[in-house]
Structure 1
Amino acid sequence: MTPALTRTYRAVRRRVALTGQAGMTTAEYAVGTLAACAFAAVLIAVVRSGAIKTALSHLITTALAIAS
């Protein structure tokens, strides 16, 4: 290794040692992605429900009526 590369490598190792973990692992990304997808599915189900559609329609209609 070149001296510059060696210094960079040592600096990165020192920074990781001082801060603990360097970042998320692949498994953590996978779990986070699954959780985000599950949350999106629940949110879509809630927004598609009749009561929410009625409330959003009323809110938009009221807002447009006020703006006119």
Structure 2
Amino acid sequence: MRVKCVLCDYITNIDDELPVAKRLRNRPIHTYMCESCQERITKRTEERIATGSFKLYRDKKVEDDW
């Protein structure tokens, strides 16, 4: 399967039987990111976390007052 990285537009072939290929085929909203872009984002995120000013915004579980 030919896939294209959403960040750097690098085109590569991946095996049709890989879970990533099946995910892309069955759920078109999912996107592919090449290994170099994924490593770069991971590295920069870890650097931002290390600064101490990084905030991860996730949905808070709202507890009812009942």
TM-score of the pair, normalised by structure 2: 0.31
The answer to which structure has the higher helix fraction is: 1
Q: Which has the higher strand share?
A: 2
Q: Which has the higher contact order (CA 8 A, sep 6+)?
A: 2
